[in-house]
Each structure stands twice: as C-alpha cells, then as structure tokens.
C-alpha cells in the first residue's frame, strides 16, 4: 500500500489522488518523473528511486509528470497534469515539445540592470499563464540598482494580483524573500534570460542539497558510469525545484490564452470597441485608444501586446503551414511511389 504522506513531499496532492480508481488506490504505485533520458526515465516514489524504460506504447512524458505503475513496476498510465510548459517543436512531426509538468510556481527572473524590461516580463508572464503555473516576478541584482522601489512599482502596475519581489541572488536572504513559495511539496521552476542570475538563485535556494543530489552518478543505457543531472530536487525547505535546460530556452508560441490573461485589461476594454475585430490602431470608437488617451493604459503596453500577439499568430500559423506542407510531401511521395510501381509493372 502506497504511503501517500511520503508522496506528498514529492508534490502528490488531491488533484492527483482524485484520478485514482478504488482498485488503483490499493494496488497501483504512483511515481513522479525526476529526470528524463533518451531511452529511460528516472522516477521517485515512496519506495525510492528507480528507472523506467521508455516504450513506444507510452504517451509523451516529461519531467514533473505523475505516472502509475503496476505491482511489477510496469507503466500503466499517466495522470492528468495540473500545469504544463511546452514549446514549439524544432522537428516537423510533432506540434509541440513538453518541457515540464506540474510546476506550481514559476519564478520569472529579470535583473535590475540593463536587462530590466517590462516587455520581456510580459512575454514571460504570457508563457507562465499559458502553463497554468503561478508567476512570481523576481527582480534580481537589487544590490546593483539605485531605484528598486520604482522598478517594483512598474512591474506591479502590470497587474495588481502579481507577486513582485526584488533580491540579491547571491544572498541567503533570497530564501526569506521567497519563503511564501518555498513550501513542502510545492514545485518551483526558474526562468529568465541569460545572465540574470538563475543559476545563482538556484544555488542559493538549493544550498548544499544541489551538490548532494543534483548530479548523480549512475550507469547509462550502455552500462557506462555517467554523471547525470537530476531535474527535480528537494530543497532544504521541502519545496521542489524543477530545473531543466528546456525551461531556460522557452519561446513564446501557442499561448493565446496566456496573452489574454496577461493583458486582461486590454482584452476587457476591446469588448467595448466599435468593431469586434478592432486592431486598436486608429479605428473609430476604439475603447483601447480611449484608455491610452486618458492615460489608463501605456502606449508601450499596447505596442507590446500587439507585437506578442502577432508573434504568437505567426508561430501558430507556421505550425499549421508546416503540417500542411508535411501532408503535401507525403502525398507527393505516395504519388511518386505509385508511378514507380506502375512503370515497373509495365
Ligand atoms: N551583484 C549581483 N550579481 C549577481 C546576482 N545574481 C547573479 N549575479 C551574477 O551575475 C552573473 C550571471 O549569473 P548566473 O546565475 O550565471 O545567470 P544565469 O541566469 O544562470 O545565466 P545563464 O546560465 O546564461 O542562463 C554571475 O556572475 C553572478 O555572480 C545578484 O543578485 N547581484
Ligand atoms: Zn479598439
């Protein structure tokens, strides 16, 4: 029988428990994916850590997922995700690539020096809202800024409900600043552009346990000893840190809903524009332009919204275009093959 209180320390909660049938409750073993390799997964449960070969019958699985295994340790099924980060796949076969599942809190790191950009924060907010995770904006390198208060105000003005904090990633006080989110069983992820202090913050939050469990020596698929990176770590606070390279390279794509949430003020106003397809760029009786004239909304914010929406549309369109192109290519191959057969048959 599964020890659910141990599982809770890995992020197990009613959302997952509710998905179990009575039978599964008694016999199945829930495990969480803590690392992913080419041909196998590393999973953790109340029984400890084990590896699981990836088979063609399995659905797409990513770090952070919860799976059910039977009493022989064989994969049974994947549980529905509470949140999910994806990105546009570089290949053309699959639409999107899974990056991480069941992240509760996404720390959007933006440094208070040259990198500080409201546009970039809005871009990350759209991504995080799309995933379903709770965003927390972390303004790093506070020690290098003369006016953190003003910066916090600017970010807070993006949404009154947004959590915004400033800190020095190198200082142990960073843990205190984030203590509201460093809760046992909560899964955090860190994102932000290069050089803003993500690794430094992760080191500070994870402390000694990063060295102890972050890199583990194990045998690879060919039996060689390798040092691999474990993507899900338990921090001293009991909170879990999900750290995979994919989180660091996220692009904005397929996040229509995330944009709507991030720019809820603009989308709410847009309902009052005269034209339902108003682009808010000079059409008559545009409620958004009126809000800009009255100073309720910044021109910068509208420009960024229009830019991100255009980018999102472009990315989504190129996905469907690629799908259409694939189909056409498939048909071409088939035709050529048929023609070859016909020729041969003559
Ligand atoms: N003064 C100051 N320096 C910081 C702070 N956070 C990070 N740094 C420094 O900034 C540099 C970049 O920090 P990293 O933690 O490597 O940044 P990163 O976001 O992980 O960068 P990538 O690995 O490229 O994605 C390092 O030299 C850090 O020591 C901070 O809060 N204050
Ligand atoms: Zn309008």
pLDDT at 92 over 50: no
CATH class for the region spanning 4-80: mainly beta
Q: Where in the chain is the domain with CATH 1.10.40.50?
A: 256-341
In terms of phi and psi (left: phi > 0; alpha: psi -120 to 50; beta: otherwise), the region of 180 is alpha
Strands 105-111 and 96-101, how do they pair?
unpaired
**Per-residue confidence (pLDDT) for residue 311, from 0 to 100:** 77
Which residue's alpha carbon is nearest to atom 1 within ligand 1?
Answer: 141
Reading the block at residue 287, the tokens are 């409620």
0.80 exceeded by pTM: no
Is 192 annotated in a binding site? The answer is yes
Q: Where in the chain is the domain with CATH 3.40.50.300?
A: 99-214+225-247
Residues with C-beta less than 6 Å from any ligand 1 atom: 140-141, 143-144, 168-170, 192, 194-200, 248
Q: Which ligand is nearest to the CA of 277?
A: 2
Which residue's alpha carbon is nearest to atom 30 within ligand 1?
Answer: 141
Q: What one-character-per-residue DSSP string does 45-57 give?
A: ETTEEEEEE--TT
* Higher-confidence position of 3 and 320: 3
Q: Where in the chain is the domain with CATH 2.30.30.140?
A: 4-80
What totals of helices (H) and strands (E) does the chain contain, helices first? Answer: 13, 15
pLDDT at 71 over 90: no
CATH 1.10.40.50 fits 256-341, yes or no: yes
Q: How far is the CA of 196 from the centre of ligand 1 (A)?
A: 5
* Higher-confidence position of 113 and 11: 11
Q: How far is the CA of 278 from the centre of ligand 2 (A)?
A: 5
Is 286 annotated in a binding site? The answer is yes
Which residue's alpha carbon is nearest to atom 6 within ligand 1?
Answer: 197
Could you give the C-alpha distances from 134 to 102, 103, 121, 259, in angstroms and in order? 11, 9, 14, 14
Q: How far is the CA of 84 from the centre of ligand 1 (A)?
A: 26
Its sign, for the CA torsion 216, 11, 172, 174, is positive
Strand order across the 75-78 sheet: 48-53, 40-45, 29-36, 66-69, 75-78
- 206-250 pLDDT, tens digit per residue, is 887 665 555 555 555 555 555 556 789 899 999 999 988 777 666
Q: How far is the CA of 191 from the centre of ligand 1 (A)?
A: 13
- Exposure letters 308-331 (e unless 16+ CB within 10 A, then b): bbebbeebbeebeebeeeeeeeee
Is 198 annotated in a binding site? The answer is yes
Q: What one-character-per-residue DSSP string does 312-340 give?
A: HHHHHHHHHHHHHHHHHHHHHHHHHHHHH
pLDDT at 115 over 80: no
Superfamily of domain 99-214+225-247: P-loop containing nucleotide triphosphate hydrolases (3.40.50.300)
Could you list which residues have their CB under 5 Å from ion ligand 2? 273, 278, 280, 286, 288
């Amino acid at each position: 029988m599964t020890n659910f209180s141990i599982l809770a320390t890995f992020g197990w909660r009613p959302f997952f428990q509710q998905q179990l049938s009575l039978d599964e409750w008694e016999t199945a073993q829930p495990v969480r994916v803590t690392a992913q390799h080419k041909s196998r997964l590393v999973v953790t449960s109340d029984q400890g850590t084990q590896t699981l070969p990836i088979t063609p019958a399995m659905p797409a699985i990513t770090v952070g997922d919860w799976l059910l295994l039977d009493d022989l340790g064989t994969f049974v099924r994947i549980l529905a995700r509470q949140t999910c980060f994806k990105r546009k796949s570089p290949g053309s076969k699959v639409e999107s690539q899974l990056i991480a599942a069941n992240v509760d809190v996404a720390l959007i790191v933006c440094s208070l020096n040259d990198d500080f950009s409201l546009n970039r924060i809005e871009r990350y907010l759209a991504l995080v809202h799309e995933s379903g995770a709770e965003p927390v904006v972390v303004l790093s390198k506070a020690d290098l800024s003369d006016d953190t208060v003003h910066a916090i105000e600017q970010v807070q003005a993006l949404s009154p409900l947004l959590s915004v904090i400033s800190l020095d990633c190198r200082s142990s006080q960073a843990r205190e600043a984030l203590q509201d989110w460093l809760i046992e069983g909560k899964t955090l992820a860190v994102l932000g552009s290069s050089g803003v202090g993500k690794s430094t913050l992760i080191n500070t939050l994870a402390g000694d346990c990063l060295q102890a469990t972050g890199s583990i020596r194990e045998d690879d698929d060919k039996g060689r000893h390798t040092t691999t990176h474990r993507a899900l770590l338990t921090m001293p606070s009991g909170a879990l840190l999900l750290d995979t390279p994919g989180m660091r390279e996220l692009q904005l794509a397929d996040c229509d809903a995330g944009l709507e949430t991030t720019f809820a003020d603009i989308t709410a106003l847009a309902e009052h524009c005269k034209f339902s397809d108003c682009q808010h760029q000079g059409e008559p009786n545009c409620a958004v332009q009126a809000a800009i004239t009255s100073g309720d909304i910044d021109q910068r914010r509208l420009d960024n919204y229009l830019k991100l929406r255009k980018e999102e549309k472009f990315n989504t369109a190129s996905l469907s275009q690629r799908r259409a192109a694939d189909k056409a290519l498939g048909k071409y191959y088939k035709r050529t093959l048929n023609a070859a057969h016909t020729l041969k048959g003559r």
